[in-house]
Structure 1
Amino acid sequence: MSSRGRHSERARFRRRCRRGLAGSAWIGLCLLWIAPAQADSAPHLTLPETLHAQVVAGALRVHGIPTRILAFRASRSADALADYFAGQWANKMHRSRAGRWTVLSHRDGAWLTTIQIRKASMGQTRGFIAMSPLFKAIEDGRRPPEIDIPMLHGTTVVNDLQATDHGKQSRTLVLRSTWSASQNLDFYRAYFKEQGYVPVGPGALVKGDTGGAMILNRGNERLDLAATQAGQTTLITIVRVQQP
């Protein structure tokens, strides 16, 4: 495969990984891989030879903590991988299920290591590996960054991810609201219009009974917003990307 082909495949793999992460409501709590500047103090983790890992984002912050996330594929089953890491950690780990995912968590001093595994095609498994000095952040009383957009009363932040990739900066917010999808869409359409954002073209504003979306632009910034309502709860995902 040519270098251009390999680069294109890596880009597609990163996009698939990001989409998988966006769908995990608990990522803000555990999928944290510390940035290179602090990697020297991280616990050592030996990966099996059959596991092939790749960095998803070079510089990422989850709730304000510098983060690096690794995605992997392996030829071992989820149970075999769990047993492998259990042996490495002398069985000092918590094992749980989250839908189709097996989740392993291990504390080593101030550090939390989390591994998320699920079955893939062709007898393989895929997942994510993460490390973070989460307990040090708690002890230091570190506060999450300020949310720079307004929210309707009763709305809470589920996830806050900030990334820098080749000079491109992005921030993804996942919000949970007690207001309807329609009310949230009207609220944010009015707010972002006031801030100078305009629809990118025909079809950029979509609104239905239980959800909708908008794709907006302001200078070198692009904003994607989607709202989905289930019962009395609405989930809003806002992705803002600023080109260099």
Structure 2
Amino acid sequence: MQIDLNSDVGESFGAWTLGDDEAVIDLVSSANVACGFHAGDPSTIRRTCAAAARAGVRVGAHVGYRDLAGFGRRFLDVAPAELTDDVVYQVGALQALARAAGTEVAYVKPHGALYNAIVGHVEQARAVVRAVVAVDDSLPLVALPGSAVAAQARAAGLRVVTEAFADRAYLPDGTLVPRTRPGAVLHDPVAVAARVVGMVVEHSVTAVDGTPVAVDVESVCVHGDTPGAVAIATAVRAALADAGVRVAGFV
């Protein structure tokens, strides 16, 4: 049994540093690199891609709304055509910087509010899918199971990689608890590691109301910007190893 572990990295900007990217990259198999719209700048992006290349970790385009001030965590009512162009721009920028760093973009994963919006916002979901198809229709799209964007992507012929979240609380319908609510982000490495093993081995996670939620995914996200991210990722890797699960990139 194996599972992909992904993490959001490359989110520093100028003099502002966020997360311990190199330490996190050493613990995962896929690195979602910010593309400059919600976070990241060209030097940070190239440096992060180089770190991923050294570690043998694949690079994904972590595309988001044009919202540096809000870290991409605010919904923006962007016109679909504009959103498509914004995503094309971000993937293209990362492709160039990744190539300069000795690697390549292997998949696309939306960030933050955009990721959550396209769970149900069909027009924005279509816009994101159109962008990926326009750039490279061989790029997989990482998405929440049962989301509108997953359905749109499959209809367009894209490979969909479904994912779960190690350090986020779940609602009974399988969506994430909004970050504005208490308890939305989990911080205990031991508890998070146990949840991940349950997701991967038992295909289940407990929602905030105590009900089980079925989980059938190829990748699990450990957020790189969560306080204690390195400790959480380390505990997750150890727990997976103890359960006989190998961490490797999705195929």
Whether these two folds match at TM > 0.5 is no
TM-score category (smaller protein): under 0.3
Which structure shows the higher strand fraction?
A: 1
* TM-score, normalised relative to structure 2: 0.25
RCO comparison, higher one (Cα < 8 Å, 6+) = 2
* TM-score, normalised relative to structure 1: 0.25
Which structure shows the higher helix fraction?
A: 2
